[in-house]
Amino acid sequence: MAPVIFQECIERGRDIRVFIANSKVFSVNVLTQHEELIDWRLDPLCTYEPTKLHKAVEAKLKMLLSRLGLHTGSIDLREDSGGELFFLEINPSGQFLFLESDANLPVTAAIADLLLSPSLTKKNRTVKQ
């Protein structure tokens, strides 16, 4: 006997990668040339197209980050062929740079803004004397 995890197979309509930094939301459709691949990151010909999420979805994702105590998060979503959206995972230190280089989204500027924000620096500042 060994532990296993079972999950429903979600028919691929489209994969969406979302990165949130300091309440700024960046999202792309993942366009893979190899639909048979379960993990789109294994497709060397994969491209990314900026997309907009519904405001309600953005609000829920921002709330999730807040409740988890995160300032950033890489989120994977899948929309099935019927248009139903599924949350797959969130990673607080997930990859994001490809969103800037491949989809021309200003992700590093958002991270710089976060790192320089007064709320972040005041909250985490400790002075030893």
Domain ranges within the chain, ordered by starting residue: 14-122
pLDDT interval class at 89 (50, 70, 90): very high
Domain 14-122 has CATH 3.30.2130.10: no
pLDDT interval class at 13 (50, 70, 90): confident
Range scoring the smallest mean pLDDT among 30-34, 95-99, 107-111: 30-34
pLDDT exceeds cutoff 60 at 128: no
Q: 3-state SS string over the chain?
A: CCCCCCCCCCCCCEEEEEEEECCEEEEEEEECCCCCCCCHHHCCCCEEEECCCCHHHHHHHHHHHHHHCCCEEEEEEEECCCCCEEEEEEECCCCCHHHHHHHCCCHHHHHHHHHHCHHHHHHHCCCCC
Range scoring the smallest mean pLDDT among 3-12, 15-24, 83-92: 3-12
